[in-house]
Protein backbone atom coordinates (compact mmCIF):
# COMPACT_ATOMS: atom_id res chain seq x y z
CA UNK A 1 0.00 0.00 0.00
CA UNK A 2 1.07 3.55 -0.71
CA UNK A 3 0.06 6.78 0.97
CA UNK A 4 -0.61 9.87 -1.08
CA UNK A 5 -0.39 13.05 0.99
CA UNK A 6 -1.77 16.43 -0.05
CA UNK A 7 -0.49 19.50 1.79
CA UNK A 8 -1.89 22.98 1.12
CA UNK A 9 -0.54 25.95 3.10
CA UNK A 10 -3.61 28.07 2.33
CA UNK A 11 -6.64 25.75 2.43
CA UNK A 12 -7.30 22.20 1.33
CA UNK A 13 -11.02 21.76 0.72
CA UNK A 14 -13.19 18.68 0.52
CA UNK A 15 -13.66 19.52 -3.16
CA UNK A 16 -9.87 19.40 -3.63
CA UNK A 17 -9.69 15.99 -2.00
CA UNK A 18 -12.57 14.74 -4.13
CA UNK A 19 -10.87 16.03 -7.29
CA UNK A 20 -7.65 14.26 -6.32
CA UNK A 21 -9.56 11.05 -5.61
CA UNK A 22 -11.32 11.18 -8.99
CA UNK A 23 -7.99 11.76 -10.77
CA UNK A 24 -6.44 8.78 -8.98
CA UNK A 25 -9.33 6.49 -9.94
CA UNK A 26 -9.03 7.65 -13.55
CA UNK A 27 -5.33 6.73 -13.40
CA UNK A 28 -6.23 3.21 -12.30
CA UNK A 29 -5.76 3.52 -8.57
CA UNK A 30 -7.80 1.74 -5.94
CA UNK A 31 -8.54 4.06 -3.03
CA UNK A 32 -8.67 2.99 0.58
CA UNK A 33 -8.98 5.05 3.75
CA UNK A 34 -8.85 8.85 3.90
CA UNK A 35 -7.36 10.53 6.99
CA UNK A 36 -6.93 14.21 7.77
CA UNK A 37 -3.56 14.93 9.37
CA UNK A 38 -4.65 18.50 10.11
CA UNK A 39 -8.06 19.67 8.95
CA UNK A 40 -8.02 21.74 5.75
CA UNK A 41 -4.21 21.60 5.59
CA UNK A 42 -3.02 18.03 5.02
CA UNK A 43 -4.71 14.74 4.21
CA UNK A 44 -3.62 11.14 3.56
CA UNK A 45 -5.18 8.88 0.95
CA UNK A 46 -4.38 5.16 0.96
CA UNK A 47 -3.93 4.01 -2.62
CA UNK A 48 -2.97 0.88 -4.51
CA UNK A 49 -2.70 -0.30 -8.11
CA UNK A 50 -0.81 2.67 -9.56
CA UNK A 51 2.87 3.61 -9.68
CA UNK A 52 3.90 6.50 -7.44
CA UNK A 53 5.01 8.84 -10.29
CA UNK A 54 1.74 8.23 -12.15
CA UNK A 55 -0.31 8.93 -9.02
CA UNK A 56 1.57 12.14 -8.37
CA UNK A 57 1.22 13.35 -11.97
CA UNK A 58 -2.49 12.57 -12.00
CA UNK A 59 -3.15 14.67 -8.90
CA UNK A 60 -0.88 17.53 -9.92
CA UNK A 61 -2.65 17.70 -13.29
CA UNK A 62 -5.88 18.67 -11.52
CA UNK A 63 -4.38 22.08 -10.71
CA UNK A 64 -4.95 21.73 -6.97
CA UNK A 65 -2.63 24.17 -5.16
CA UNK A 66 -1.17 21.51 -2.92
CA UNK A 67 2.15 19.71 -2.60
CA UNK A 68 1.86 16.00 -3.39
CA UNK A 69 3.82 13.09 -1.89
CA UNK A 70 3.43 9.41 -2.72
CA UNK A 71 5.30 6.94 -0.53
CA UNK A 72 5.20 3.34 0.64
CA UNK A 73 3.38 3.24 3.97
CA UNK A 74 6.08 1.07 5.54
CA UNK A 75 8.93 3.58 5.08
CA UNK A 76 7.09 6.86 5.38
CA UNK A 77 8.75 7.92 8.66
CA UNK A 78 12.29 9.08 7.93
CA UNK A 79 15.27 8.53 10.21
CA UNK A 80 17.81 10.71 8.38
CA UNK A 81 17.39 14.14 6.83
CA UNK A 82 20.17 15.49 4.63
CA UNK A 83 19.63 19.04 3.43
CA UNK A 84 21.16 21.68 1.23
CA UNK A 85 21.67 25.10 2.84
CA UNK A 86 21.47 28.04 0.40
CA UNK A 87 17.91 28.72 -0.81
CA UNK A 88 16.76 25.61 1.06
CA UNK A 89 17.49 25.95 4.78
CA UNK A 90 18.17 29.68 4.43
CA UNK A 91 16.51 32.23 2.17
CA UNK A 92 19.62 33.46 0.32
CA UNK A 93 22.68 32.32 -1.63
CA UNK A 94 25.51 33.31 0.68
CA UNK A 95 28.12 33.78 -2.02
CA UNK A 96 25.84 36.21 -3.86
CA UNK A 97 25.22 38.23 -0.71
CA UNK A 98 28.92 38.23 0.16
CA UNK A 99 29.66 39.48 -3.35
CA UNK A 100 27.37 42.43 -2.69
CA UNK A 101 29.87 43.69 -0.11
CA UNK A 102 32.49 43.62 -2.87
CA UNK A 103 30.17 45.46 -5.25
CA UNK A 104 29.96 42.55 -7.71
CA UNK A 105 26.71 40.80 -6.81
CA UNK A 106 25.17 40.87 -10.33
CA UNK A 107 28.19 39.17 -11.91
CA UNK A 108 28.40 36.45 -9.28
CA UNK A 109 24.66 35.93 -8.95
CA UNK A 110 24.36 35.24 -12.67
CA UNK A 111 26.96 32.49 -12.42
CA UNK A 112 25.32 31.06 -9.30
CA UNK A 113 21.95 30.89 -11.06
CA UNK A 114 23.45 29.13 -14.07
CA UNK A 115 25.30 26.64 -11.85
CA UNK A 116 22.15 25.87 -9.86
CA UNK A 117 20.26 25.28 -13.10
CA UNK A 118 22.93 22.74 -14.04
CA UNK A 119 24.31 24.74 -16.95
CA UNK A 120 27.87 25.03 -15.55
CA UNK A 121 30.30 22.67 -13.84
CA UNK A 122 29.76 23.33 -10.15
CA UNK A 123 33.40 23.16 -9.02
CA UNK A 124 34.65 25.37 -11.84
CA UNK A 125 31.87 27.88 -11.24
CA UNK A 126 32.63 27.98 -7.52
CA UNK A 127 36.35 28.55 -8.09
CA UNK A 128 35.60 31.33 -10.57
CA UNK A 129 33.21 33.11 -8.21
CA UNK A 130 35.46 32.80 -5.17
CA UNK A 131 38.41 34.18 -7.17
CA UNK A 132 36.41 37.37 -7.73
CA UNK A 133 36.17 37.83 -3.96
CA UNK A 134 39.94 38.03 -3.50
CA UNK A 135 40.86 40.93 -1.24
CA UNK A 136 37.44 41.32 0.37
CA UNK A 137 37.88 41.96 4.11
CA UNK A 138 37.16 38.78 6.08
CA UNK A 139 35.00 40.89 8.41
CA UNK A 140 32.44 41.01 5.59
CA UNK A 141 31.58 37.38 6.39
CA UNK A 142 30.30 38.24 9.87
CA UNK A 143 28.54 41.32 8.54
CA UNK A 144 26.89 39.32 5.78
CA UNK A 145 25.76 36.64 8.19
CA UNK A 146 24.25 39.18 10.57
CA UNK A 147 22.57 41.32 7.91
CA UNK A 148 21.56 38.87 5.17
CA UNK A 149 21.29 35.27 6.38
CA UNK A 150 17.78 34.31 7.44
CA UNK A 151 16.47 30.84 8.18
CA UNK A 152 13.87 29.43 5.83
CA UNK A 153 10.38 29.22 7.30
CA UNK A 154 9.93 25.90 9.06
CA UNK A 155 13.62 24.94 9.08
CA UNK A 156 14.01 24.71 12.86
CA UNK A 157 10.66 23.01 13.33
CA UNK A 158 11.43 20.39 10.68
CA UNK A 159 14.84 19.39 12.00
CA UNK A 160 14.01 19.60 15.69
CA UNK A 161 10.80 17.63 15.30
CA UNK A 162 12.66 14.89 13.45
CA UNK A 163 15.35 14.87 16.15
CA UNK A 164 12.69 14.47 18.81
CA UNK A 165 11.54 11.35 16.97
CA UNK A 166 15.05 9.88 16.88
CA UNK A 167 16.24 11.01 13.45
CA UNK A 168 19.78 12.03 12.49
CA UNK A 169 20.42 15.22 10.49
CA UNK A 170 23.14 16.54 8.20
CA UNK A 171 23.46 19.95 6.56
CA UNK A 172 25.58 19.48 3.44
CA UNK A 173 26.37 22.59 1.46
CA UNK A 174 28.35 23.68 -1.55
CA UNK A 175 28.57 26.97 0.34
CA UNK A 176 30.97 27.85 3.10
CA UNK A 177 31.61 26.67 6.66
CA UNK A 178 31.80 30.33 7.74
CA UNK A 179 28.03 30.40 7.23
CA UNK A 180 27.03 26.73 7.39
CA UNK A 181 28.46 26.08 10.86
CA UNK A 182 26.35 28.88 12.32
CA UNK A 183 23.27 27.99 10.31
CA UNK A 184 23.57 24.34 11.31
CA UNK A 185 23.81 25.27 14.97
CA UNK A 186 20.88 27.70 14.77
CA UNK A 187 18.62 25.11 13.15
CA UNK A 188 19.85 22.15 15.18
CA UNK A 189 21.63 19.95 12.65
CA UNK A 190 23.77 17.19 14.15
CA UNK A 191 26.47 17.49 11.47
CA UNK A 192 27.58 20.10 8.94
CA UNK A 193 29.58 19.52 5.75
CA UNK A 194 30.61 22.55 3.65
CA UNK A 195 33.47 24.25 1.83
CA UNK A 196 36.16 26.30 3.56
CA UNK A 197 37.08 29.77 2.32
CA UNK A 198 40.80 30.48 2.54
CA UNK A 199 41.64 33.66 4.44
CA UNK A 200 45.05 35.31 4.23
CA UNK A 201 45.59 37.76 7.06
CA UNK A 202 42.34 39.64 7.33
CA UNK A 203 41.18 39.24 3.73
CA UNK A 204 39.75 36.54 1.49
CA UNK A 205 42.47 34.86 -0.55
CA UNK A 206 40.14 34.17 -3.46
CA UNK A 207 40.41 30.40 -3.08
CA UNK A 208 38.51 27.57 -1.44
CA UNK A 209 40.01 24.48 0.20
CA UNK A 210 40.05 21.29 -1.83
CA UNK A 211 38.40 18.92 -2.38
CA UNK A 212 35.26 20.95 -3.03
CA UNK A 213 31.97 19.84 -1.57
CA UNK A 214 29.99 19.12 -4.72
CA UNK A 215 27.16 16.86 -5.87
CA UNK A 216 29.27 13.72 -5.45
CA UNK A 217 30.12 14.76 -1.89
CA UNK A 218 26.44 15.20 -1.10
CA UNK A 219 25.64 11.74 -2.44
CA UNK A 220 28.53 10.12 -0.57
CA UNK A 221 27.49 11.89 2.63
CA UNK A 222 23.95 10.55 2.33
CA UNK A 223 25.16 6.99 1.91
CA UNK A 224 27.89 7.21 4.54
CA UNK A 225 25.68 8.77 7.22
CA UNK A 226 22.91 6.24 6.57
CA UNK A 227 25.39 3.38 6.87
CA UNK A 228 27.07 4.81 9.97
CA UNK A 229 23.75 5.09 11.79
CA UNK A 230 22.25 1.84 10.53
CA UNK A 231 19.53 3.63 8.59
CA UNK A 232 18.09 2.01 5.44
CA UNK A 233 18.21 4.28 2.41
CA UNK A 234 14.45 3.94 2.19
CA UNK A 235 14.22 5.76 5.53
CA UNK A 236 16.22 8.80 4.33
CA UNK A 237 14.99 12.23 3.24
CA UNK A 238 17.03 14.57 1.04
CA UNK A 239 15.96 18.11 0.20
CA UNK A 240 17.52 20.79 -1.98
CA UNK A 241 16.90 23.27 -4.78
CA UNK A 242 19.85 23.17 -7.17
CA UNK A 243 21.35 20.87 -9.77
CA UNK A 244 24.16 19.89 -7.40
CA UNK A 245 21.50 18.37 -5.12
CA UNK A 246 20.17 15.99 -7.77
CA UNK A 247 22.30 12.90 -7.00
CA UNK A 248 21.37 12.87 -3.30
CA UNK A 249 17.73 13.64 -4.11
CA UNK A 250 17.59 10.74 -6.58
CA UNK A 251 19.26 8.35 -4.13
CA UNK A 252 17.22 9.14 -1.00
CA UNK A 253 14.16 7.25 0.14
CA UNK A 254 12.26 10.51 -0.37
CA UNK A 255 14.00 13.09 -2.54
CA UNK A 256 12.38 16.52 -2.45
CA UNK A 257 12.93 19.55 -4.67
CA UNK A 258 12.25 22.63 -2.54
CA UNK A 259 11.05 25.66 -4.56
CA UNK A 260 13.64 24.35 -6.94
CA UNK A 261 15.18 24.83 -10.35
CA UNK A 262 13.36 22.94 -13.15
CA UNK A 263 16.11 20.34 -13.63
CA UNK A 264 16.09 19.54 -9.92
CA UNK A 265 12.33 19.33 -9.74
CA UNK A 266 12.25 16.95 -12.71
CA UNK A 267 14.65 14.60 -10.93
CA UNK A 268 12.83 14.56 -7.58
CA UNK A 269 10.16 12.17 -6.33
CA UNK A 270 8.32 15.12 -4.79
CA UNK A 271 8.35 18.89 -5.02
CA UNK A 272 7.45 21.54 -2.46
CA UNK A 273 6.04 24.38 -4.56
CA UNK A 274 3.54 25.97 -2.21
CA UNK A 275 4.44 25.28 1.43
CA UNK A 276 7.41 25.86 3.69
CA UNK A 277 9.72 23.23 5.18
CA UNK A 278 7.11 21.99 7.64
CA UNK A 279 5.44 20.45 4.58
CA UNK A 280 8.02 17.68 5.00
CA UNK A 281 6.60 16.88 8.43
CA UNK A 282 3.14 16.45 6.95
CA UNK A 283 4.71 14.23 4.29
CA UNK A 284 5.71 11.93 7.16
CA UNK A 285 2.23 12.02 8.67
CA UNK A 286 3.19 14.26 11.60
CA UNK A 287 0.39 16.56 12.73
CA UNK A 288 1.12 20.07 13.97
CA UNK A 289 0.29 19.14 17.56
CA UNK A 290 3.39 16.89 17.55
CA UNK A 291 5.80 19.47 16.12
CA UNK A 292 8.69 20.84 18.16
CA UNK A 293 8.08 24.53 17.58
CA UNK A 294 10.91 26.99 18.11
Active site residues: 84, 86
List, in order, residues 6 or more apart from 155 with CB less than 8 Å away.
89, 90, 187, 277
Query: What end-to-end distance do the CA atoms of the chain give, in Å?
Result: 34
Neighbouring-strand partners of residue 49: none
Closest CA to 126 of 206, 220, 193, 200: 206
CA atoms of 93 and 102, how far apart (whole Å): 15
Sheet containing 191-195: which strands, arranged edge to edge?
Answer: 191-195, 168-176, 80-83, 236-240, 254-258, 270-272
Centre a 10 Å sphere on the Cβ of residue 195 and count the other Cβ atoms it contains.
Answer: 23
* C-alpha distances in Å from residue 164, one per residue of 231, 271, 286: 16, 25, 12
φ/ψ bin of 230: left (φ > 0), alpha (ψ from -120 to 50), beta (otherwise): left
Asked if residue 115 lies in contact with residue 128, where contact means CB atoms within 8 angstroms, the answer is no
Amino acid sequence: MQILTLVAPERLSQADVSAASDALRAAGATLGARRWIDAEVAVDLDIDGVAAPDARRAVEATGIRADVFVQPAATRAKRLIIADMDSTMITVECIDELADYAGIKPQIAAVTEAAMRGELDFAEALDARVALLEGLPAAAIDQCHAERVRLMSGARTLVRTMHARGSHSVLVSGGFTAFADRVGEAIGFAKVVANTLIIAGDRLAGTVAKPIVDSDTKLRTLRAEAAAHGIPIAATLAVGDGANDIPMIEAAGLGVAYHAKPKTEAAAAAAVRYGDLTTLLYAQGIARAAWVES
